[in-house]
Structure 1
Amino acid sequence: MLGVSGGVDSAVAALLLQRAGHDVSGLFMQNWNDDGSGDCRAEDDRRDAVAVCGRLGIAFHARNFADRYWHGVFEHFLAEYRAGRTPNPDVLCNREIKFRTFLDEARVLGAERIATGHYARVDRSHGRWRLLRAADAGKDQSYFLHALGQEALAATLFPIGDLPKAEVRALAQAADLPVHAKKDSTGICFIGERDFREFLARYLPAQPGDIRSADDGSVLGRHGGVFYYTLGQREGLNLGGVRGRAAAPWYVVGKDVAGNILYVDQGHDGPWLQSRRLVASQATWTAAAPPAVEFDCTAKTRYRQDDQACSVRVGDDGGLDVRFDAPQRAVTPGQSVVFYRNEECLGGAVIDATDARFGGLAGGAAARVAA
């Protein structure tokens, strides 16, 4: 059972599975109901998915998982923003919807395995399944798939994981697939093309407060709500020339949720944004357990970041203490830190705090890991 999205990647995945002799069916997942904004593209994507299945002569199924998505992903998304963190809903969606709810439904429909158009690879080595980076490093999506466990990996195929994106496009065009020229979707699926802050304000009403200088606490302007901003952000601050300050861009460097204060500083790589240590929780490991209580590896704290050398220590409660060889910019609570050893993705966890100046490690988070 292939997850058909209406995009070119899943269409070529279906084509390759069919050419390999698999009995393929397609299932379209609708994870977000139209909210009346006109920004939901689910119906357009559904029509494209139907067209792809029709072109290839494979069965088409559709299921609405919007209620499960709301309770399993979106409510968590809002709670994290309300707490001043910046969540990554794609990670949770993959774990809870695309590789759990979808897998369960595929089995109900008689499928033995599932497949998707993700850029990643799976293999089996020394008695366990491994999640590997895609061959196309620029499109690799293992960062978003790090929370998949052995059951999901054992049941999953990634047919385009060995291909560069350009070849995927070429295969789609050569096979006259109706989506061969369709633009790739970007961003969070339920937000679409609309303004992010406008969308979030529907659920988290604006709470204006002070924008203050990180250096001396002076008030520089006003914001609409600290949860609308993330660390390292430059856009949307509306800070023009500030008397007595250099004519340089301002960046978000800290958030005081309780005080409703946004702290900013000048300089893309300023000291307020730098950290060398983080603590994380809710760890998941593709092998079901970490490689060791203490180990060295590389990690990413955001998608498409270059690998960063680090050491990891696992606490008695499963929490992680991660220390990097080099300073890291704008490591953000709520985001995922994902671990790699060469081509293999080992797993990841949710960042709780860092040793940046506003990172919170001087408080309880550090004490819990140390304990």
Structure 2
Amino acid sequence: MSGGVDSTVSAYLLKKQGYDVIGLFMKNWDETDENGECSAEEDYDDARAVCLKLNIPCYTVNFTKEYWDNVFTYFLDEYKKGRTPNPDVLCNKEIKFKCFLDYAINVLNADYIATGHYAKVEHTKEGTRLLKAKDQHKDQTYFLSLLKEKQLERVIFPLADVEKGEVREIAEREGFRNAKKKDSTGICFIGERNFTQFLQNYLPNQPGDMIDMDTGEKKGEHIGLMYYTLGQRRGLGVGGCGSGERWYVADKDLNNNILYIVQGDKNPKLYKNGFIATDVNMISGHYPSDKFECEMRFRHLQPLKKATVEVIDESTARVIFDEEQSGVTPGQIAVFYDGEVCLGGGTIDKLIKF
């Protein structure tokens, strides 16, 4: 129970289906926001109120240490390297479907855990598969791509065949206090607060030159390479000139602390042919073959791209797009699909340009 409307309706649906439901709220972050408010307290109040209304027990568990050790330190290390990590994906792997799952099974003696994720689990003779949700606009398989089949065997996703609009309707009809509560956005432990200010609390600023990659001309200064993502166009502080087209982040030189930018979204320096993926996780435990075609995305809900995956070793693969793509960013997660089935994912490491 997160205190949000999705987990609320999930609990309601499970109880309606005859399950013996237990509410479990977890706290992963201890810090207050810039206004001195701790959103976890408000979320817990909402979760507890829902459990009371559903007449189910409500437990709490604190995973702040586990989150710091297994997710946040990785998050900081990646930014130090000039990469752009996705802690939400890692949180699912290390906390929600590991620590949380272990606690529910071994301490509360639960048979399954259920969350408000929009995704589907299918059990077949060949094994347990992760499929896209009915609501394609809310599908969250991207964030679940680093899970293992064994974890999914003990998971129920009650919203697999429910659309977001229906969830709101159910919550309002049943009189849940969080029926109109906004969905959480941003990085899981940061929320909607100012990201730059947040990161400055943990990593020192290292301003440097912002260089036009085509001409070598200095166009300004950046505030620190960690604050920029490849393909980014907002917040560069560089006005249009010449063609008047927008500027985009094209590359980072970590050794010399240089941010390279180019003008125009069609600039060839923004496009890559593929990448090397590391820490690859296949949900089934194995690749479909040594070389296979699939669809993939490297951002949540991004339109799927066709690609060919060539296996290098158990945890490393070479991914080549059918068509060049922009915005491919080291540190982000790339997720592979075969139709409705999410095969797994890996971390984008080195970029490939023919």
Does 1:126 find its partner at 2:125? Answer: yes
Q: Which residue of 2 is the match for residue 91 of structure 1?
A: 89
Q: Which residue of 1 is the match for residue 312 of structure 2?
A: 315
Give the deviation of 1:161 after TM superposition: 1.2
Give the deviation of 1:179 after TM superposition: 0.8
CA distance in 2: counterparts of 1:127 and 1:216, whole angstroms:
56
Does 1:34 find its partner at 2:31? Answer: yes
Letter in structure 2 aligned against 1:46: Y
Q: Which residue of 2 is the match for residue 156 of structure 1?
A: 155
Match of 1:105 among 103, 106, 109: 103
Which runs of 5 or more structure 2 residues have no equivalent in the other structure? none
Q: Which residue of 1 is the match for residue 58 of structure 2?
A: 60
Give the deviation of 1:216 after TM superposition: 1.8
Give the deviation of 1:129 after TM superposition: 0.2
Give the deviation of 1:126 after TM superposition: 2.5
* 1:156-201 CA-partner distances (Å, limit 9, x unpaired): 0000111110011111111111111111111112212221111111
- In the TM superposition, 1:174-193 aligns within 5 A as 174-193=173-192
- 8 Å contact 1:338–1:347 — kept in the other structure? yes
Which runs of 5 or more structure 1 residues have no equivalent in the other structure? 358-371
Describe the shift of the 1:280–1:112 C-alpha distance in structure 2 as closer, same or farther (beyond 3 A).
Answer: same
Q: Which residue of 1 is the match for residue 20 of structure 2?
A: 23
Name the SS of the counterpart of 2:209 in structure 1.
strand
Describe the shift of the 1:212–1:149 C-alpha distance in structure 2 as closer, same or farther (beyond 3 A).
Answer: same
- 8 Å contact 1:273–1:356 — kept in the other structure? no
- In the TM superposition, 1:1-371 aligns within 5 A as 4-35=1-32, 37=34, 38=36, 40-107=38-105, 108-242=107-241, 245-356=242-353
- 8 Å contact 1:85–1:333 — kept in the other structure? yes
Name the SS of the counterpart of 1:275 in structure 2.
strand
- 8 Å contact 1:39–1:191 — kept in the other structure? no
* 1:128-177 CA-partner distances (Å, limit 9, x unpaired): 00000000000000000011112210000000111110011111111111
CA distance in 1: counterparts of 2:291 and 2:322, whole angstroms:
15
Name the SS of the counterpart of 2:177 in structure 1.
coil
Describe the shift of the 1:265–1:167 C-alpha distance in structure 2 as closer, same or farther (beyond 3 A).
Answer: same
CA distance in 2: counterparts of 1:312 and 1:86, whole angstroms:
22
Among the aligned pairs, what percent are the same residue? 49
Aligned residues, how many?
Answer: 352
Give the deviation of 1:218 after TM superposition: 1.1
User: What is the TM-score of this pair, normalised by structure 2?
Assistant: 0.97
CA distance in 2: counterparts of 1:318 and 1:10, whole angstroms:
33
* 1:36-76 CA-partner distances (Å, limit 9, x unpaired): 63254111111000111111111000111111000100000
Q: Which residue of 2 is the match for residue 362 of structure 1?
A: none
Give the deviation of 1:92 after TM superposition: 0.4
Letter in structure 2 aligned against 1:206: N
Give the deviation of 1:291 after TM superposition: 1.0
- 8 Å contact 1:14–1:24 — kept in the other structure? yes
Give the deviation of 1:356 after TM superposition: 4.2
Letter in structure 2 aligned against 1:219: K
User: What is the TM-score of this pair, normalised by structure 1?
Assistant: 0.92
Letter in structure 1 aligned against 2:44: R
CA distance in 1: counterparts of 2:100 and 2:188, whole angstroms:
17
Give the deviation of 1:209 after TM superposition: 0.3
CA distance in 1: counterparts of 2:177 and 2:266, whole angstroms:
45
- 8 Å contact 1:214–1:264 — kept in the other structure? yes
After TM superposition, which residue ranges in structure 1, 4 or more long, deviate above 3 angstroms?
Answer: none
Give the deviation of 1:293 after TM superposition: 1.1
Task: Decide which moves more: 262-271 or 330-339.
Answer: 262-271
Give the deviation of 1:217 after TM superposition: 1.4
- 8 Å contact 1:209–1:225 — kept in the other structure? yes
